[in-house]
Structure 1
């Protein structure tokens, strides 16, 4: 019996029940492992994505948000490596694209790049009409809404 880990399936969505995307990612065998990244929950409605982008300049990184998909890309500048002979090359510094699906109420607050780590802060902002509310028993809904 083979040991199959499902952890890559659960780290690709932020701000909503991960089961919703389970089947989308279950059939993908090419879950990216470069660059390394963390997804942190920093409070009830606050999240942070931290991407290890060592060796990249800030100008080589780009963040795009389109249709609730946050894409982080890096394209290294071409360097003159003809005169360099690597005895060991452990720093990948290769182009990448990391895409993460966001819940409809997750908004990007800010991004920062420091010490080779790209940090993107996210916040869940739920509209007032979507928040849970208590419904009193014995009163008509119309009366409740006019009093609010």
Structure 2
């Protein structure tokens, strides 16, 4: 009985999930990205690591909308919420400087407004989730294998 969520909660290091967008095995309904069980793993671990960011229904709804969107819809949401990537990078970098050892749950997001939490909700998920447009048995290209960096 492998509980991936609990195992990831014990791990404080960086990681990313590669989600196959056409996966017919991991998805509860083949061809429906919103039923990919990797999504639930992602929701649980982001909520655990960043409870001050992913702490309200509006932000969680936005997160679900974003990760289940096609590439055009994602670009529109990125433009709406994360148009100033440099600012988001600067704020996460400053937090890492003040908190050099990653430990979770993180206090990142303390005193953030709803809009700030939503902006970082999308920014953070892009650090943890990589989509690969394929079915379950398609080999992953080598370009998908790299050492992840610490997000926050």
Which TM class, normalised by the smaller chain length? under 0.3
Structure holding more helix per residue: 2
Structure holding more strand per residue: 1
* Relative contact order higher in (CA < 8 Å, ≥ 6 apart): 2
Larger-Rg structure = 1
TM score, norm. by length of structure 1: 0.27
